[in-house]
Amino acid sequence: MKVAFLSFFNPAARSGGGFERFVVSAAQAMAERGHSASVVTSSRKLYRFTWVLMSFYYLQPKWLAKNPIKLSEAELRQNLGQASLCESSTIVGLGKYLADADVIYTKNEIPELVILKFLSLRWKLPPIVVGMHTSLLIPVPGSFHVKVHNWLYLGKFYHSLLKGCSGIMVHTDDDATLIRRRFPGLNAKIYTIPDFFDLASGETSRHHNDKFVVLFANRLTEQKGSDTLYRVIKLLSARREFSDMEFVIVGSGKAEGEAAVRKLANEYDNVRSCGQVPYEQMHDILLSSDVSLVPSRWETFSRTCLEAQWYGLPVVASHITGPKDIVIHNQTGLLVSPEDAEGFAQAILKLYHLKKESSAEFMKMAQKASSLARERFSKEKIITMLEDMLKEQVVLKKEDLRDK
């Protein structure tokens, strides 16, 4: 089976996130299983041009000073293993790679869907499976970008783009329900397949800390709740337990989010701002932490929750789609209403006292978090589900052609 994973944003890009890591890992795994797998993406030259446009759209001119590419071609190809990397500086060039595949997998963002719509006018493309890696509905009132996003992704134009796909993959049942409700009449089959995590080889024993380490590892944005993080630390700073805690903040984002974190780090000796760190360094950071804080306002899944649970960290997360599908309340972590800074502060204090006063119970929660994450979201298990879905799409296409 020839599988093409379309990612318009180059997986070597600085802006690459969960989806880009997903397609590289999935393509590598599919190639190991004997399939012809490739990642089809924009060339680095084309991506640099896109980076400039993004900087103006998101009102982040500081991006222009950064190199938008963080991985060399050799590093990216090494991560892909036996899978192929197919880069093109033109949309037509992307089409040539995609038309040669038996099935296409891409994310649900408008650039990818518009490109496929355009290419379908010129080529007879194979079945297209769209993975819901970006939220369709941002459920909280917010900025101009939030309003534009909801208008675009819940409207008739987006509905018309989805009509060109034959399969839709979601991570949660909530998203499956949303799609059926908002976009009636779609012929695409909906598959519910969670994300996976594959622990890098190396040391897995936890590092001893004198203090209770709370980790926030996410973008400093409205979506990820960086403002809630700020209020949580401010609330906890008034408590006597605060001096026995350490807050490690990993990530970059909008100017106001980064400024707020710098202010916290300057004001409190036990708040450490690490900025954006190489993904490989997260291994040691996770092993050195006690709990993970994920106060997001919305998610499609939450790779941050999954990684933390995999490493045996109880997670304090928002009770929203994604985190609530990973964290089991009172068993592998605690769930709190989004934006409830007081609730997050109390949850952190609860876990702090659990570790201090009943370390065996805390370790039991940590071990359960790790064992369940590895059981429910193992790479082997999820890749098998992905493989079965793609195979089914190829078979359905052949049956459809035979019936015609």
Q: What does the pLDDT profile of the chain (404 residues) look like in tens digits?
A: 999 999 887 666 544 567 888 888 999 999 999 999 999 988 867 766 665 555 555 555 544 445 444 666 777 788 889 999 998 888 899 999 999 999 999 999 998 999 999 999 988 999 999 999 999 988 876 677 788 889 999 999 999 999 989 999 999 999 999 999 999 989 899 999 999 987 654 456 666 778 999 999 999 988 899 999 999 999 999 999 999 999 999 998 888 889 999 999 999 999 999 988 877 788 899 999 999 999 999 999 999 999 999 999 999 999 999 999 999 999 999 999 999 999 999 999 999 999 999 999 999 999 999 999 999 999 999 999 999 999 999 998 887 767 66
For residue 12, the model assigns a pLDDT of 62
Give the fold, CATH level 3, of 2-196+378-403: Rossmann fold (3.40.50)
CA nearest to 345, candidates 258, 231, 251? 231
Q: Which of 370, 250, 243, 244 is nearest to 315 (CA)?
A: 370
pLDDT at 15: 45
Q: What is the pLDDT of residue 281?
A: 84
d(CA 218, CA 252): 8
**CA distance linking residue 117 with residue 160, whole number of Å:** 10
201: exposed, middle or buried (Cβ count in 10 Å: 0-12, 13-18, 19+): exposed
* pLDDT for position 68: 47
The predicted pLDDT at position 74 comes to 78
From the centroid of its chain, how far is CA 385?
A: 18
Residues 150 and 137: their CA atoms lie apart, in Å, by 6
What is the structure's pLDDT at 64? 46
Residues of the chain with CATH 3.40.50.2000: 2-196+378-403, 212-376
- Which is it for the CA torsion 322, 22, 18, 317, positive or negative? positive
| Architecture of the CATH domain 212-376 | 3-Layer(aba) Sandwich (3.40)
